Structure 1
């Protein structure tokens, strides 16, 4: 069962054309910015669970992009502008009970002249995946933000999480984890698990 954080679905080409004129409408912006159909700068990440509190059948995530050299009007009355940002799902799968695989691309979006003022260049600014017990609503979302230093062949990263909110807490919510187990208080430190990540460049 693939778990994906909530976001809008990838629009069709027809929708993209239909919304292209409304440049100051934020929902229209999502339809303007297009995913790269043939990305080449790809990385595969294998996540491994260590001493997990139970099974995780829900797994999925997103790559986050931003174009720093372009902007669009968000309010003509106030004269405010914003830079394009977009999230696209990463290809995600569960390998076995403790291993999971995700694929992301540095060139996941197309660099194009979206506003008639020159080519907008996209930068990957974040890769986030989430783990849930089953993927059901209300379960704790164990989030893993892959460190930028690991976006390379042979890159590695690791996060530590408290077990006590598995599979969920009455208040719901997410668990962002910590890079250092010593960041937990002594009472919590004896009841944690970790998720490690190993990155390989796609051939």
Structure 2
């Protein structure tokens, strides 16, 4: 993974997005240390993004309030193999990815909205191998009942392909996992699109989130 990777300020929203160890003995050591500390490393933001979209998160039958409701937009360099830093261990280019926060505002009792940009990242030659071209991969959210880190993380991930199809994403979660799951502390509940995928005894005690994305007028 290239050093342009930016973690979400030390607060992982998506369980599948984790940092890999980065070599400390390279010309990019300072940038790598910045990434490890939750910074952006070499990655840069587009100073004048124009392609604005709105993420809308709607809750239904929530088991209680959520003290934390966060959003994130994930970006990847689509041509990282041609522009990324060559990793000595594998002699291949490392993946370049960045997660940028999306501030979600509470609009109603069960609705949150936040703006993000398709062109949030700056295309640039980061490693002297050619210009890296960023593209949006998807947007995600995380809900937590309290600020306690042992509480369940209720997660969503809305892929770009679904945005292009203008298809809403509804996920179902067991109320029994709120505020804290018995399985484990800090449990990452990713939800299921089909409520019948849960055990029969849980199907009558589910709540849902629906995520939609809409383009904003320039």
Q: TM-score, normalised by structure 1?
A: 0.81
> Which runs of 4 or more aligned residues in structure 1 lie more than 6 Å from their structure 2 counterparts after TM superposition?
none
CA 25–112 in structure 1, closer or farther in 2 if over 3 Å, else same: closer
1:66 deviates by 1.2
- What is residue 72 of structure 1 aligned with on the other side? 85
Count of residue pairs the alignment pairs up: 187
Q: Given the alignment, which residue of 169, 186, 189 partners 1:175?
A: 189
| Aligned residue in 2 for 1:184 | 198
- In the alignment, what sits opposite 2:209? 195
Q: Residues 59 and 132 of structure 1 are in contact (CA less than 8 Å); yes or no, is this contact kept in structure 2? A: yes
Aligned to 2:210, the other structure's residue is in SS state strand
1:134-187 deviation digits (Å, cap 9, x = unpaired): 233211110011133442595422111111010113521111001111211211
Unmatched 5+ stretches in structure 1: 8-19
Aligned-pair Cα RMSD in Å? 2.5
The 5 A counterparts of 1:1-203 are 6=11, 21-22=27-28, 26-27=32-33, 30-69=40-79, 70-75=83-88, 79-152=91-164, 155-170=167-182, 171-172=184-185, 173-203=187-217
SS of 1:187's equivalent?
Answer: helix
Structure 2, unaligned stretches of length 5 or more?
Answer: 1-8, 13-25
Change (3 A) 1:181 1:111: same
Cα distance in structure 1, aligned partners of 2:166 and 2:97: 28
Q: TM-score, normalised by structure 2?
A: 0.76
Contact kept, 8 Å, 2:103 with 2:115, in 1: the verdict is yes
Of 40-49 and 89-98, deviating more is: 89-98
1:37-85 per-position Cα deviation (integer Å, ceiling 9, x unaligned): 221112102111111111112111211111131221333x653431211
The 1:67/1:37 distance shift into structure 2, 3 A limit, reads same
Contact preservation (8 Å) 2:137, 2:159: no
Q: Equivalent residue for 2:21?
A: none
